[in-house]
Amino acid sequence: MKIPAQAPLHLLHQAAAGTLATHAREPHGFPYPTLLPFATDARHRPVILVSRLAEHTRNLQGDPRAGFLVAQTSGEDVLSAPRMTLIGLFEPSDDGAESALARRYLRYHPDAARYLALGDFDFWTLHVERLRYIGGFGAMGWLDGADLDTLDPLPADEEEALIQFATHHPARREGFALLGVDRHGIDLRIDGQRTRHVFETPQLDTASLHGALADCLARYST
């Protein structure tokens, strides 16, 4: 069945946490689900920050195959909420506390700074092979991970320059924080509430991204 254009991508940016299912070491082979905060990288892949001592981390070390459930629940009618299950391989990252990946993650989850300071937490990234998206009646289906976004990702230095642009823009108001920018939208925190500003069309160059960001700032300035 047809999946709405970019719907899985936007859902990944709207959710703050997901359910990670790994293969348990003991009892061996059983699914082991756990709830974790996550952020996306520049390619919209889920990134988690986990302790080396955690059960799910040890499971991934033994078998990197995993499922990751992301849902946008509202009230009790969970079956009407957009949701998807991603399957693929989780791989540990060499990115440390001073990396661009860490800076991006901490914009979404600033409290994670205390875990990074402990020194035994690492980033793991899900390399998505396939995903199953359900957006409602008649809006569901499978998608290859490579088809989630076929555009070139926005380089970290360009994203951070856009964040600086927004931070010092005269239209920016108190309570407005820019979390992340990609070619399809902007992730925001406004008065403590996280939201996503979706572009009508993908922004393919720096100039158009600056224009889209300025429009977003003007929209949320009041």
CA distance 116 to 123: 10
Residues 6+ apart with CB under 8 A from 150: none
In this structure, which topology does domain 7-147 adopt according to CATH? Pnp Oxidase; Chain A (2.30.110)
For residue range 18-28, list pLDDT tens digits in order: 999 999 999 99
What mean pLDDT is reported for the chain?
92
Ranges 62-66, 109-113, 134-138: which has the least confidence: 134-138
The C-alpha torsion from 20 through 14 and 212 to 210, rounded to 10°, is -40
**Helix, strand or coil, per DSSP, at residue 190:** strand
Q: Which residues lie across from 69 on neighbouring strands?
A: 19, 85
What's the DSSP call for residue 66? E
User: Are 30 and 15 a contacting pair, CB within 8 Å?
Assistant: no
pLDDT exceeds 90 at position 152: yes
pLDDT exceeds 80 at position 136: no
- Written as six digits, the tokens of 219 are 């929209």
The ranges of the chain annotated as CATH 3.20.180.10 are: 156-219
User: Are 151 and 204 a contacting pair, CB within 8 Å?
Assistant: yes
Architecture of 156-219 per CATH?
Answer: Alpha-Beta Barrel (3.20)
- Beta pairing class for 46-51 and 65-71: unpaired
User: Are 60 and 22 a contacting pair, CB within 8 Å?
Assistant: yes
CA distance 114 to 92: 19
> What sign results for the dihedral spanned by CA atoms 12, 16, 21, 24?
positive
For residue range 163-212, list pLDDT tens digits in order: 999 888 887 888 889 999 999 999 999 998 999 999 999 999 999 999 99
Provide long-range contacts, Cβ within 8 A and 24+ apart, for 162-166.
162/209, 162/210, 162/213, 163/107, 165/210, 165/213, 166/213, 166/217
Question: Nearest Cα to 211, choosing from 220, 203, 222?
Answer: 203
The ranges of the chain annotated as CATH 2.30.110.10 are: 7-147
Q: Which helix (H) or strand (E) holds 67?
A: strand 65-71
